[in-house]
């Protein structure tokens, strides 16, 4: 098994185990604070009638919230088959299955459909190749690109690094393939700037940073 395939398998297995509990937690408590901030950012820019793509959608609750807030349709992809099963079941339970589609895929290595809004909620920190995910996201987004990442800046930088190291040590001892990544924020911004995006909004939410970028150049041509 290649290193990349082993990493994908480790991520998928980790979130397979968490899928049902995460879905139940959302049904009980709604979106987390940072996810709500991201949804508010997008809604203020105009979500009515927009198409949404969520990379690393998990059990689909954020994507489905965009539909409840006016989006016309959503597509979500994730490595976890258990999470995707929960997402499709939840969409049907919510009466939104005609406007939502969730499927197993690695967005870092597969082309995704163009959408008005692309979202990655606490996804970049779970994948080793942030550039690949950002490339797919930037190529797919016609207007907005939003994401949530660990608060790896300022006074929070040292404790974040210690926390990530401890989490990764535990995962290594448990012999899982999951690792937590603190990708450089400047590198993320530079890549998105080079792809035609400018930072529009930013907020702190406890241990997280919430970003929204807006396409500054012409929208990409329609593609499948």
How many CB atoms are closer than 10 A to CB 98?
9
Confidence of residue 218 (pLDDT cuts 50, 70, 90): low
- Using DSSP, state whether 202 is helix, strand or coil: strand
Alpha carbons 8 and 216: distance in angstroms, whole number: 33
For the chain, what percent of residues have pLDDT higher than 70? 94
The whole-number average pLDDT for the span 28-48 is 95
The fold of the 3-215 domain, in CATH, is Rossmann fold (3.40.50)
pLDDT at 146 over 70: yes
Where do the domains of the chain lie?
Answer: 3-215
Alpha carbons 109 and 123: distance in angstroms, whole number: 15
**What pLDDT is attached to residue 217?**
67
Place of tokens 């009466």: 95
- Whether residue 60 contacts residue 91, with contact meaning beta carbons closer than 8 Å, is answered with yes
**What pLDDT is attached to residue 224?**
47
Render pLDDT for 6-26 as a digit per residue (tens, 0 to 9).
777 778 787 877 787 887 888
């Amino acid at each position: 098994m290649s290193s990349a395939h082993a990493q994908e398998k480790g991520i998928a297995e980790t979130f397979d185990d968490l899928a049902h509990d995460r879905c139940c937690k959302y049904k009980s408590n709604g979106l987390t604070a940072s996810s709500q901030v991201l949804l508010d950012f997008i809604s203020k820019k105009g979500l009515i009638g927009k198409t949404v793509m969520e990379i690393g959608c998990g059990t689909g609750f954020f994507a489905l919230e965009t539909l409840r807030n006016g989006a016309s349709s959503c597509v979500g992809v994730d490595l976890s088959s258990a999470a995707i099963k929960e997402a499709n079941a939840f969409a049907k339970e919510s009466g939104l299955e005609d406007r939502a589609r969730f499927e197993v895929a690695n967005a870092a290595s597969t082309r995704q459909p163009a959408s008005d809004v692309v979202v990655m909620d606490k996804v970049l920190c779970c994948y080793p190749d942030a550039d690949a995910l950002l490339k797919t996201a930037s190529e797919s987004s016609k207007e907005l690109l939003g994401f949530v990442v660990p608060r790896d800046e300022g006074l929070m930088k040292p404790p974040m690094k210690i926390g990530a190291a401890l989490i990764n040590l535990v995962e290594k001892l448990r012999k899982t393939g999951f690792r937590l990544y603190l990708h450089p924020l400047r590198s993320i911004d530079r890549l998105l700037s080079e792809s035609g995006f400018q930072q529009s909004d930013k907020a702190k939410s406890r241990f997280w940073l919430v970003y929204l970028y807006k396409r500054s150049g012409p929208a990409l041509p329609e593609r499948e």
